[in-house]
Homo-oligomer: A and B are copies of this chain.
Amino acid sequence: MVKIENSKRTILNLAESLLQDRGFNGFSYANISSELGVKNAAIHYHFPSKEDLACAVIQRYRERFKLWINNSRVKDLSPQEKLNWFFKIYDDFRVDNGKVCLVGSLEAEFNSIPDALKKEVEALHREMLVWLQATLKEGREAGVFQFNGEPASKAALIYSSVQGALQMARALGTKKFRDVVEQNKQDVLVA
């Protein structure tokens, strides 16, 4: 018996990639098992239902995000650097590989995904917005950001635009995504 080290983590990695690539309704257990070189039932052993699997992906991502923002590598950055870090999460490897953010992918299919998954997506989205909102507030108070209105609304706009721009990049090219990022910076950074 060939022992694959940490199958569970490998399955989660593949599922996360497939979610960003094809969405919840666009991938199957067969996609994962064939890639892993095992049978379908092996995936069901680790994650009984597709709902369990997708929820676990989001839960892991939520914990990862929490670790990131509480780590000094991000926590101690200036507001401008924090904003750049946020944009860079998506810019680095996702756009070039036609991936979108988990939140965007699942919210686009929101009306055809299981309820437990909806709750996970909602929680993740909320947590990311809270951080972005705090960063914008911090930057404005420090005099390095300027914008009208509430930090919460500005955070919602920036997040939505990144979410939409990742999807747009698939049809219109990655340059469009970077245009949106640059425009966001111009709209918020003090000249």
Interface residues in chain A, defined as those with a beta carbon under 8 Å from any beta carbon in chain B: 21-23, 25-26, 98, 100, 103-105, 107-112, 118, 121-122, 125-126, 129, 147-150, 152-154, 156-165, 167-168, 170-172, 176, 179-180, 182-184, 186-187
Contact present for B176 and A168 (CB under 8 Å): no
8 A-B pairs with least C-beta separation: A160-B164, A108-B108, A163-B164, A164-B164, A107-B167, A26-B112, A161-B161, A25-B25
Contact present for B165 and A183 (CB under 8 Å): no
Interface of A is mostly: helix
**Across-interface contacts of A171 in B (CB, < 8 A):** 103, 107, 110, 118, 121-122, 125
Copies of this chain in the oligomer: 2
Contact present for A164 and B170 (CB under 8 Å): no
Chain B proximity of A81: nearest CB distance (Å) = 21
Q: Given A163-B168, A180-B153, A26–B107 Cβ distance below 8 Å?
A: no
